Amino acid sequence: MSEKILKALLQLFAIIAKAEGGGISSRRGERTVSRFLLQQFTPEQAAMHIATFDAFVEAFHTSGGTSDKGRKRTSLNSVKVLRICAQVNEELTQRQKVVVLVHLLELIHANGKVEEQEREFVSTVAESFNIARQEFERCQLFVEVGRSEHVMDQVPQAATLPVEDLLHIDGGHAAIPDGSRHLHAHGLEGGMSVLHVPSAGLYLMRYAGSERVLLNG
């Protein structure tokens, strides 16, 4: 990943991190961005890039709220989102685009409350990255449901996920929806849910009780 593309992505994370002037706490935002950076760089390099991210957050969100100035800043940031997406679109692979999207979804869900402007920004990113609406919605639902519980414990929302693309792993004998895959792992505490993203050849994995969505090819 080139320095130019990395800078653009950090700007994108920073814009979406505090949409509508509310957004996430800086600590949770940094954790999410750190996970993305640690997949690309050494811990030392990631720490340097986090400092750049923090600087972008401050630059993009020096004002906000419902004032005219805040609305104008939100409008300008929307234009920036589109420009950044156009900038990185040609260099990133489809798998990398999905990875970025999932981390953005984690980012806006970091404090448990998602603002409408945040949803719109991330939806715009998915559309700009040519990620099919259905796959975007699946990734979004997978991140949304069960942030502290097994995904399939969250009904009826989880029922709308494609059971044929879901794998459930646990040490017990939990009730699993018809058509979905189940793997018994003796001694495993809690449970894991894995969602296949076919277009990117990617698997999203969530462990019960963790805030983290893992990505694997």
Per-residue pLDDT of the chain (217 residues; tens, 9 = 90+): 678 888 888 988 888 876 544 445 456 677 888 888 888 889 999 999 999 988 888 887 665 544 455 566 667 778 888 989 998 888 889 998 998 898 888 888 877 778 888 888 899 999 999 999 989 988 888 888 655 444 444 434 444 566 667 787 777 665 665 566 777 777 777 677 888 888 888 888 877 644 455 566 5
Q: What pLDDT is stored for residue 114 in this prediction?
A: 80
Q: What pLDDT is stored for residue 16 in this prediction?
A: 82
Rounded (5°) CA angle 92-95-101: 85
Q: What pLDDT is stored for residue 216 in this prediction?
A: 60
Q: What pLDDT is stored for residue 175 in this prediction?
A: 60
